Structure 1
Amino acid sequence: MGRKNWLQTLAAGIVLMLLSTYFYTVNSSGLFYFLENPLQDIMRKAKSIDERQPEDRIKIVKIDEKSLKAIGKFPWDRTTYAQIIEKLEQSGAAAIGIDVVLAEPSKNPADDKALADVLAKYDNVILPVQINYPSKQQQAGDLVPEKIDYPSTTLTTNKNQMAHINVLVDKDGKARKLPVGLPDEKNQYIPAFSVALANLVLDEKEKVSRDDATGQWKRGNIVMPTNERNQVTTEFFTLPRQKVDADTGYETLSFVDVLNSKNPLPLEGAIVLVGPFVTAMQDEYPTPISAVKMFGIEIHANMIQTLLESKFYKDASKPVGTGIIILLSILAIVLFERFKGRSALFIFIGMFIVYDLIWLFSYTAGSIFIPIVYPQFALITIYIWSLVNHYLQERKERNRVTGIFGRFVSKTVVDELLQSGEDVKLGGSRKDISLIFVDIRGFTPMSERLEPEQVIQVLNEYLDVCTKAIFKFNGTLDKFIGDGVMAMFGAPIEYANHPEMAVRAAIEMKSQADILEQNLIEKYGIGVKFGLGINSGPAVVGNIGSEDLRLDYTAIGDTVNLSARLESNAKPGQILISEHTYARVKDLFRIEPVGEIKVKGKEKPVMVYEVIGQL
């Protein structure tokens, strides 16, 4: 391929690569987002039960239908929460999280005081903060709160006992990531409910904290893979409780059962979450691991275990992802430009499969999700472009060859050779054809009187007349023979009326030659005429010559020889035809017999006729 074509391919590949990079880096929340995340979800679902073993220390005290029937409709008295906290503390719970928003003061101040006293007594109890955001932020990615529902000031003023319970869903509505911290009105960060509870049981050196200088969230000294919204991906160790047996989920206890328990429960060192476990309380979200929604309290439980085990799957950084797209694109550009057809298809499929395997390995071995849709989009579009480009180049080359070849032989020959899809081979076949031999009478004397450049110009004008007449009536220009022409009709495309077409072409040549002659007489004082011979009959038509070097598409045989002999006997301006041609066209033209003439190669004289013109 030429330098120009290579540069065109490189430019197109770079454009497609940049387009993929744009979708990945700038418009990552667009169409491909809804393809990338589900593919990651499939991998997360594929994890075995052994890999999803829930943490025994995490317990859920559920506000379920049973509790609502026994205690009454929501909201409950604050003393109820005070009592449940006391029960859990007496059972040895290490951390207690109440996932019920208590933003308004109770109508009965005594209730608030009872709960406030318990909260003051135990510093391992976390109350929820609900951050409300406007439907649309001023700028994409902003987290500017519209309103924050803190626990009522009648309950506690200890910020260490407050944590947000916000679950931010992705654009497809699924909860995959939880914000480990969210800014308040003063841009001070409120830790997540799960972070606050996990920190109560983690060693001091392992606690989750935010580095204010860098904005990074760390678990101990390890930087957590958070995104621009301070979210970290939640690893799900359980399915929603509606679909999980008791042996495979977090241990759950009914709120009312804990409240009515007479003896301490086996909760020593446990992290206990208290929250809604009924659909009517509208605290449930779709997750990537199940079509069934998961209660918010379960999501917090899974996030706590994610933090405890420091088990995060990570998305590759943007620079790494961009580098992958660029490398894969460049490799695709080079390979698809070098290989075509079936080889290119196999390379494309191979690259597609190999990249999928690399993607799988990076997740299973390193818990890292490298981008999959965006690089493969680049791969697919570059492959499609290569197919289109190769097709266009082949069409261009075909047209170029057709144009060049068509200047030497009839376009019909070119089309037949190209459409056959076969290599040009030696050999021919017997066909019924008509042949014309044309010679310029008086050319030699004229060439002696004119300059060489003028001779060539005149010759080209006469040969151009011949060529146009031949092609006009679907003939095949076989060859130029000095100042003469050989043409055939009926090959390679067969026509039943090829004798008629040959005669009409000859009449066209004669009429146009008369016009040229007048111009020459006016210009140089001398004119020339055509002598034409036409014969029809069987001849061997095909390719002769050297198979490796040069082939000529021509006709051979006695029919050809007789046509040439007729031309040599034709007088200036005369069209002679054989009796074989005459028999087929006698009713179509004005024809007069010339008589029998002796021609070289024939023992007996042959009958010859002259075509005068159209009827």
Structure 2
Amino acid sequence: MAKRKWGRRAILALAIIGFWSFLSSLGTGGTLNVVELELKDLVRAKSDEERRPFQEIQIIRIDDTSLEQLGQFPWDRSLHAQLLEMLAEAGAKAIFLDLVFAEPSDPAADEALREVIARYDNIILPAVFNFKPVQQAAGELETESVSYPTEAIGVPDEQTAHINVMPDSDGTVRMLTLGVSDTDGTMVPAASVRLANYILGDELQIHYNADAGSWYRGEEVIPTNGRSQVKIDFFSEPREVMTADTGYESQAYFDVLTGNIPAEYYQDAVVLIGPWAAGMQDEYVTPANPNLKMYGVEIHSNMVQSLATGAFFIDAPEALNYGLIALLTLLPLMLFVSGRVSVILYFSLTAGYLLAWIAVYMWYSTFLTVSYPLLALTSAFIASIVVQVIDERKERGRVTTIFGRFVPRSVVDELLASGEEVKLGGQRKDITVMFVDIRGFTPMSERLQPEEVIQVLNAYLDLCTKAVFRWNGTLDKFIGDGVMAFFGAPVDLPQHPEMAVRAALEMKQQADVLEQQCVEQFGIGVKFGVGLHCGPAVVGNIGSEGLRLDYTAIGDTVNLAARLESNAMPGQILISAPLQARLGDAFATEDIGEIKVKGKEMPVRVYAVTGAAQ
């Protein structure tokens, strides 16, 4: 037995390890990817003190105010030439204009921009890369075309940088692409790389080593993926107004151009000029605030500071993740026992792994995979108790299958919830009993074909059943062309008299519709007669314990409800005086008077329900 036990666990372990390792090798996707990314965003969230922005990084906004003052965009390029010259003359350390000039414009304006760029080599203009829709290999970036600044402006290569912002699979920007190879294989650095080098000293310059195929910050290799991407930090909230501690300082383009903000203000600053208006379609979702998009010029500013601080984070090697999957599969299969101890052990291992995940991030700047190891752990936990669960489900299925043939589903659910054996006997309960019978069924049977009779009968019984179940009743049985049901058992219903009457009214309403259909289709209509009475009855399993049990109700309450139904006229709902008293003013009733019923020495007072109270 022990060998079979451990052999089964070994098979389960191999299956679990193989399954989750295979999925992990394909890369996380969908919901799992979202979990991984959101967890990383959570632990990398910074306090105001931690995300204090560099004061030398400053933004000039092409915002709504500037658009109102300078007119419809795009503006004459001579305005940009004028602003760039003002900033360069004032001693700005570097200037990045986040606008694409792929096509020539007015020759004079282009020439003005060309002259300024030629005079000041610290001015950087963007290039936009267009990638092939289908990449030959996963994790790579193959360029289809590049939109460089137009030759009319004549931007040197060393003053050109790419501005491609590439969101993750969930649409959130977390990565900086340090450089992209153009169609000739030349590595074009990101704008943030060029700008960060104006902040960093000579010994920490960021550069690409083609022989090594790696990016470096000084002599330190930057941990990039196959696309030359690295995770970045965010030091500002989207569209954040600068305070003493948070937010990059930003000014309106118009204010700087007109001298309201003196150009000398930007002396020794790294200046980024770019769109700051929703209509310019340059905004992205970031971890800094998933509900408010961040403008591209803000993202580039954060990228510059990330590179300058050098706090790079990497993902753990795949081999380590496979090892963790194996470890968290084998541990529970070897240690788990059934019962409460296994649950405690499962949550302890889960908590321990999450703490280890945070520790590795804090000490080694490395992200372990979360989803697959924990899913392997969960799978092993489930596998360790699967035999017990299967046995329990088999027993539950046996009871459901057998007992469910004879009683309503609600009775089966109550029996299974109680955990008691099926046995003879019942209990005294206060219930409302309903009997329903089709009036005119015999004449209809004589006039219609048997198949048509069954069709009509099934339709009537179906609407009765639906009405009973909709108002939380229990369908006891079909009695030929009639129905017996009760309310208040097996589940206690404090308002069972009202529930029963509402079910009867619904039957009457639906029966009128069905009667009209029968008249149109068969030329004959039938109606219901309904009887209702409330009171004590014995409800439980009655019959042969070894062969057949019925869950039903017996007692005088049941008998009187049946007698009322037999006295009901077509389309009439008769209720007893005790039931009418419990209903109060909830329904409109008509006093029928006293009638003599079989089994009762004295006449009983009867009421007809005509509808809900007005």
Which residue of structure 1 lines up, in the alignment, with residue 139 of structure 2? 141
Alignment of 1:255-294 (within 5 A): 255-261=253-259, 263-290=262-289, 291-294=291-294
Contact 2:13 2:380 survives alignment (8 Å): yes
Which residue of structure 2 lines up, in the alignment, with residue 234 of structure 1? 232
Measured against aligned partners, the alpha-carbon deviations of 1:592-613 in whole angstroms (never above 9, x if no partner) come to xxxxxxxxxxxxxxxxxxxxxx
Task: Give the TM-score of the pair, scaled to structure 2.
Answer: 0.61
Within the alignment, does 1:200 sit opposite 2:198 as a pair? yes
Measured against aligned partners, the alpha-carbon deviations of 1:311-370 in whole angstroms (never above 9, x if no partner) come to 12222222222222222222223222xx33222111111001111111222223433221
- Determine the C-alpha separation between the residues in 1 that align with 2:101 and 2:545: 101
| SS in structure 1 of the partner of residue 199 of structure 2 | coil
Shift of 1:243: 7.2
- Determine the C-alpha separation between the residues in 2 that align with 1:393 and 1:154: 79
Q: What is the identity, as a one-letter code, of the residue corresponding to 2:285?
A: P
- Determine the C-alpha separation between the residues in 2 that align with 1:211 and 1:126: 22
| SS in structure 2 of the partner of residue 213 of structure 1 | coil
Shift of 1:130: 0.7
Shift of 1:58: 0.4
| SS in structure 2 of the partner of residue 146 of structure 1 | strand
- Determine the C-alpha separation between the residues in 1 that align with 2:66 and 2:359: 47
Q: What is the identity, as a one-letter code, of the residue corresponding to 2:280?
A: M
Measured against aligned partners, the alpha-carbon deviations of 1:414-468 in whole angstroms (never above 9, x if no partner) come to xxxxx999xxxxxxxxxxxxxxxxxxxxxxxxxxxxxxxxxxxxxxxxxxxxxxx
TM-aligned CA distance change 1:391 to 1:273, over 3 Å: same
Contact 1:82 1:114 survives alignment (8 Å): yes
| SS in structure 2 of the partner of residue 43 of structure 1 | helix
**Tell me, which stretches of 5 or more residues in structure 2 are unaligned?**
395-418, 422-543, 547-614
Q: 1:165 aligns with which of 144, 163, 166?
A: 163
Shift of 1:186: 1.7
Shift of 1:134: 4.1
| SS in structure 2 of the partner of residue 140 of structure 1 | coil
TM-aligned CA distance change 1:370 to 1:243, over 3 Å: farther
| SS in structure 2 of the partner of residue 241 of structure 1 | coil
Q: 2:251 aligns with which of 247, 253, 260?
A: 253
TM-aligned CA distance change 1:71 to 1:265, over 3 Å: same
Q: What is the identity, as a one-letter code, of the residue corresponding to 1:149?
A: S
| SS in structure 2 of the partner of residue 200 of structure 1 | helix
Q: What is the identity, as a one-letter code, of the residue corresponding to 2:293?
A: K
**Tell me, which stretches of 5 or more residues in structure 1 are unaligned?**
397-418, 422-495, 499-615
Which residue of structure 2 lines up, in the alignment, with residue 150 of structure 1? 148
TM-aligned CA distance change 1:293 to 1:264, over 3 Å: closer
Shift of 1:145: 2.3
Shift of 1:191: 0.5
Shift of 1:266: 2.4
Which residue of structure 1 lines up, in the alignment, with residue 63 of structure 2? 64
Contact 1:216 1:223 survives alignment (8 Å): yes
Measured against aligned partners, the alpha-carbon deviations of 1:448-489 in whole angstroms (never above 9, x if no partner) come to xxxxxxxxxxxxxxxxxxxxxxxxxxxxxxxxxxxxxxxxxx
Shift of 1:202: 1.9
Measured against aligned partners, the alpha-carbon deviations of 1:34-53 in whole angstroms (never above 9, x if no partner) come to 221112122233x2111111
Q: 1:211 aligns with which of 206, 209, 212?
A: 209
Contact 1:23 1:30 survives alignment (8 Å): no
Which residue of structure 1 lines up, in the alignment, with residue 590 of structure 2? none
Which residue of structure 2 lines up, in the alignment, with residue 412 of structure 1? none
Within the alignment, does 1:127 sit opposite 2:129 as a pair? no
Q: What is the identity, as a one-letter code, of the residue corresponding to 2:174?
A: R
- Determine the C-alpha separation between the residues in 2 that align with 1:127 and 1:157: 7
Q: 2:355 aligns with which of 329, 351, 357?
A: 357
Q: What is the identity, as a one-letter code, of the residue corresponding to 2:49?
A: D
Shift of 1:289: 2.2
Q: What is the identity, as a one-letter code, of the residue corresponding to 1:62?
A: R
Contact 2:242 2:250 survives alignment (8 Å): no
Q: What is the identity, as a one-letter code, of the residue corresponding to 1:357?
A: L
| SS in structure 1 of the partner of residue 143 of structure 2 | coil
Measured against aligned partners, the alpha-carbon deviations of 1:274-298 in whole angstroms (never above 9, x if no partner) come to 0000010000001122110000111
- Determine the C-alpha separation between the residues in 1 that align with 2:274 and 2:393: 70
Contact 2:314 2:366 survives alignment (8 Å): yes
Which residue of structure 2 lines up, in the alignment, with residue 87 of structure 1? 86
Within the alignment, does 1:50 sit opposite 2:86 as a pair? no
- Determine the C-alpha separation between the residues in 2 that align with 1:343 and 1:304: 51
Shift of 1:184: 0.8
Q: 1:383 aligns with which of 381, 384, 404?
A: 381
TM-aligned CA distance change 1:98 to 1:174, over 3 Å: same
Q: 1:224 aligns with which of 222, 225, 228?
A: 222
Measured against aligned partners, the alpha-carbon deviations of 1:260-281 in whole angstroms (never above 9, x if no partner) come to 1174432232111000000100
| SS in structure 1 of the partner of residue 264 of structure 2 | coil
User: Percentage identity across aligned positions?
Assistant: 39
Measured against aligned partners, the alpha-carbon deviations of 1:142-182 in whole angstroms (never above 9, x if no partner) come to 42223211001111241000100000111111111121111
TM-aligned CA distance change 1:56 to 1:497, over 3 Å: closer
- Determine the C-alpha separation between the residues in 1 that align with 2:391 and 2:52: 59
Shift of 1:29: 3.0
Measured against aligned partners, the alpha-carbon deviations of 1:386-434 in whole angstroms (never above 9, x if no partner) come to 11045569999xxxxxxxxxxxxxxxxxxxxxx999xxxxxxxxxxxxx
Q: What is the identity, as a one-letter code, of the residue corresponding to 1:160?
A: E
Q: What is the identity, as a one-letter code, of the residue corresponding to 1:6?
A: W
Shift of 1:97: 0.7
- Determine the C-alpha separation between the residues in 1 that align with 2:169 and 2:189: 23
- Determine the C-alpha separation between the residues in 2 that align with 1:167 and 1:497: 74
Which residue of structure 1 lines up, in the alignment, with residue 34 of structure 2? 34
Q: What is the identity, as a one-letter code, of the residue corresponding to 1:239?
A: E
- Determine the C-alpha separation between the residues in 1 that align with 2:389 and 2:120: 76
- Determine the C-alpha separation between the residues in 2 that align with 1:73 and 1:232: 37
| SS in structure 2 of the partner of residue 252 of structure 1 | strand
Contact 1:17 1:329 survives alignment (8 Å): yes
Within the alignment, does 1:18 sit opposite 2:41 as a pair? no
Contact 1:195 1:208 survives alignment (8 Å): yes
- Determine the C-alpha separation between the residues in 2 that align with 1:242 and 1:57: 16
Contact 1:167 1:175 survives alignment (8 Å): yes
Measured against aligned partners, the alpha-carbon deviations of 1:28-83 in whole angstroms (never above 9, x if no partner) come to 234411221112122233x2111111111100011001111111111112211111
Measured against aligned partners, the alpha-carbon deviations of 1:512-571 in whole angstroms (never above 9, x if no partner) come to xxxxxxxxxxxxxxxxxxxxxxxxxxxxxxxxxxxxxxxxxxxxxxxxxxxxxxxxxxxx
- Determine the C-alpha separation between the residues in 1 that align with 2:325 and 2:204: 36
Which residue of structure 1 lines up, in the alignment, with residue 309 of structure 2? 309
Task: Give the TM-score of the pair, scaled to structure 1.
Answer: 0.61
Which residue of structure 2 lines up, in the alignment, with residue 331 of structure 1? 331
- Determine the C-alpha separation between the residues in 2 that align with 1:372 and 1:180: 27
Contact 1:60 1:252 survives alignment (8 Å): yes
- Determine the C-alpha separation between the residues in 2 that align with 1:271 and 1:243: 18
- Determine the C-alpha separation between the residues in 2 that align with 1:215 and 1:333: 43
- Determine the C-alpha separation between the residues in 2 that align with 1:497 and 1:363: 64
Q: What is the identity, as a one-letter code, of the residue corresponding to 1:383?
A: F
Q: What is the identity, as a one-letter code, of the residue corresponding to 2:8?
A: Q
Shift of 1:247: 4.9
TM-aligned CA distance change 1:6 to 1:196, over 3 Å: same
Which residue of structure 1 lines up, in the alignment, with residue 179 of structure 2? 181
Contact 2:236 2:248 survives alignment (8 Å): yes
- Determine the C-alpha separation between the residues in 2 that align with 1:144 and 1:347: 48
Q: Which contiguous aligned blocks of 4+ residues in structure 1 show a shift greater than 4 angstroms?
A: 242-247, 390-396
- Determine the C-alpha separation between the residues in 2 that align with 1:254 and 1:180: 29
Contact 2:242 2:248 survives alignment (8 Å): no
Contact 1:95 1:201 survives alignment (8 Å): no
Which protein shows a greater Rg? 1
| SS in structure 2 of the partner of residue 32 of structure 1 | helix
Contact 1:129 1:148 survives alignment (8 Å): yes
Shift of 1:94: 0.8
Contact 2:177 2:229 survives alignment (8 Å): yes
- Determine the C-alpha separation between the residues in 1 that align with 2:268 and 2:318: 40
TM-aligned CA distance change 1:65 to 1:325, over 3 Å: same
Shift of 1:246: 7.2
Contact 1:285 1:294 survives alignment (8 Å): yes
| SS in structure 1 of the partner of residue 185 of structure 2 | coil
